[in-house]
Amino acid sequence: MNTRRLATLAALALAAGSTLSSRCLALVDAWEFEVYPYNTLSRGMAEFETDNSFVSSGHELGGDGLSNGTVPSRRTWYNSYEVTYGLTDRIEAALYLNMAEPASGGLRWAGDNLRLRGRLFDEETLPVNLGWYLELEWHKTPQFDDAVRELEFRPIIEKDFGRLALMVNPKFEKVLAGAGHDQGVEFGYDAAVHYRWTRRLSPGLEFYGGTGLIDQADPGTSQQHYIFPTVWGEFPGGLEYNFGVGYGLTRGSDRVVFKFNVELEGFVGAIIKKASSDRGWFF
């Protein structure tokens, strides 16, 4: 066996090994095109939210674009329901129900998430407002993901420049069970620039993407990056909305994605009676 043939076989073996151990990276979450701000719900407040996205033009094979499982993303409606509750004035908890209706039809269960999110210190204490986000995810495999359970952590960074808010959520995700559990940490990002024009209608620009594993980034064309021009605001009666059209910027991204999120909040009663201290930083 000559050297060239040996090298070819070694390359094929490496590629096969890499394929077997890798997974469809879930850095862009089709169920939640939302960038988190620094603010959290006040103690005793509850919020009901439904987030929706629809891939009008995208990949036809499972595992490509926004699909992390065997169901292709093209013409799939991703639909989630989220209930959030303000535990303290700085920490909120949320439960998600994720559903999906693929092009083949039939709305079905795709997974659940359990999330804690908090803000550190009071606003204007630090040069930028900081928060944190910790989420445990369960997925319906293999249809909607190839990982059974994942843990996600995001620092939340927000800076207001007058009526312009800049929000950045770097995302770090680790598979706990299922395909990819032996791999490292994946990196992605959600970011937004929102201009506070009027309470009823304001413009924004949002960015979502992922680069792959921290220690082994995907090739640029395989990564997913999206830009969403959005409008957001509040209807009379307090129903808040965020609507946008997303454009994939790489070959690995789906081409066009619509998103429509609505939420309604109200006071339901505090289980922790003591208000958070103005001098506190975590609780």
Among 42, 70, 222, 250, binds another protein (CB under 8 A): 42
Question: What part of residues 183-222 is at the interface with another protein (CB under 8 A)?
Answer: 196, 198-199
Among 39, 56, 57, 216, binds another protein (CB under 8 A): 39
Q: Does 45 bind another protein (CB under 8 A)?
A: yes
Q: Does 123 bind another protein (CB under 8 A)?
A: yes
The window from 18-26, 41-49, 146-154, 182-190 that contacts another protein (CB under 8 A) reads: 41-49
Q: Does 277 bind another protein (CB under 8 A)?
A: no
Q: How far is the CB of 266 from another protein (least distance, A)?
A: 8
Which residue, among 138, 141, 17, has the nearest Cα to 67 in the 3D structure?
A: 141
Q: How far is the CB of 207 from another protein (least distance, A)?
A: 20
Question: What part of residues 257-276 is at the interface with another protein (CB under 8 A)?
Answer: 266-267, 275
Q: Which helix (H) or strand (E) holds 74?
A: none
Whole-angstrom Cα distance, residue 276 to residue 125?
A: 15
Q: Are 131 and 153 in contact (CB under 8 A)?
A: no
Choice between 267 and 282, CB closer to another protein: 267
Choice between 3 and 198, CB closer to another protein: 198
Provide the 10 A C-beta neighbour count for residue 274.
10
On the question of a cis peptide bond just before residue 142, with omega within 30 degrees of 0, the verdict is yes
Residue 240 pairs with which residues in a beta bridge? 234, 263
Whole-angstrom Cα distance, residue 9 to residue 148?
A: 33
- The two tokens of residue 45 are 């407040």
Q: Does 127 bind another protein (CB under 8 A)?
A: no
Residue 219: φ, ψ to 5° = -60, 145
Q: Does 112 bind another protein (CB under 8 A)?
A: no
* 103 Cα distance to chain centroid: 22
The window from 42-50, 146-154, 173-181, 246-254 that contacts another protein (CB under 8 A) reads: 42-50
Integer angstrom CA distances of residue 180 from 20, 137, 145: 9, 14, 11
Whole-angstrom Cα distance, residue 262 to residue 246?
A: 17
Among 30, 44, 76, 113, binds another protein (CB under 8 A): 44
User: Considering CB under 8 A, how many residues would be counted as binding another protein?
Assistant: 23
Choice between 19 and 198, CB closer to another protein: 198
- The two tokens of residue 256 are 């066009």
The binding site for another protein (CB under 8 A) comprises 39, 42-45, 89, 122-125, 160, 162-163, 165, 196, 198-199, 236, 238, 266-267, 275, 278
